[in-house]
Amino acid sequence: MEILQTLITLICHIFFILMSYQLLTNLVDWEKILKINIENLRSVNLLVMFFSIGLGYLVSNFFLTLISLSMTIFTSIR
């Protein structure tokens, strides 16, 4: 059971990190916020990736905690 929970947690983190990366690259116009040129393009991509990891982890952790709390409430009611 613990291996299944760890696997679900890992898949959830990866899913939300990829989702936040797609949203940050498609919805945010980084050229308005940062000065992008050939020299700092890799740095901007790395920054977007770090933002994606942070945001995806936070959202994933929120949903996993919400699911865990709801399971605890439903098992304590029985």
| Chain CA centroid to CA 8, Å | 14
Q: Helical H runs in the chain?
A: 2-27, 30-33, 41-77
Per-domain residue ranges of the chain:
2-77
What mean pLDDT, rounded, does the chain reach?
Answer: 93
Cβ count within 10 A of residue 60: 21
Distance CA 69, CA 47 (A): 33
pTM for this model (two decimals) = 0.87
pLDDT in tens, 13-43: 999 999 999 999 999 988 898 888 889 999 9
- pLDDT over 90 at 47, yes or no: yes
